[in-house]
């Protein structure tokens, strides 16, 4: 049984929110890629003539996905540090960690 403190639960909740947001952005990227592939299959020359707006949109999705991934990486590292600190506290005191919430 694992017990987690409210700050750690908050970090995990935020990680889950970031994951859902990343999934949404990745679906948008995949949708645009599919559109580009279909366009290329219809007429290879047409891809080069697609509006700049489409390319800018794809670029912005990639930038957003990159920022979300960086945020996720920082938050995951912070979460690991919090869990390590909590584990160290329990080992030093020799007592079981206090129960806050059981998952």
- Cα distances (angstroms) measured from residue 72 to each of 12, 19, 58: 10, 8, 21
**Helix runs in the chain, H state only:** 6-42, 44-48, 52-93
Say if pTM beats, i.e. exceeds, 0.85.
no
C-alpha 24: how far from chain center: 10
Render pLDDT for 44-54 as a digit per residue (tens, 0 to 9).
888 788 889 99
pLDDT tops 60 at residue 95: no
| pLDDT of res. 54 | 92
Q: Where is pLDDT greater, at 99 or 57?
A: 57
pLDDT tops 90 at residue 24: yes
Q: Which residue has the tokens 């584990």?
A: 87
| pLDDT of res. 55 | 92
CATH class given for the domain over 6-93: mainly alpha
- Return the closest-CA partner of residue 39 out of 51, 27, 22: 51
If you average pLDDT over residues 51-79, what whole number do you get? 95
């Amino acid at each position: 049984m694992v017990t987690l403190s409210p700050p750690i639960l908050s970090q995990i909740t935020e990680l889950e929110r970031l994951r859902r947001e990343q999934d949404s952005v990745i679906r948008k990227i995949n949708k645009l890629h599919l559109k580009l592939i279909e366009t290329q299959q219809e007429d290879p020359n047409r891809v080069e003539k697609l509006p700049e707006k489409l390319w800018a949109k794809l670029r912005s999705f990639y930038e957003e996905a990159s920022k979300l991934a960086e945020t996720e990486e920082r938050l995951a590292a912070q979460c690991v540090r919090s869990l390590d600190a909590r584990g160290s506290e329990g080992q030093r005191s020799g007592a079981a960690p206090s129960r806050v919430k059981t998952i």
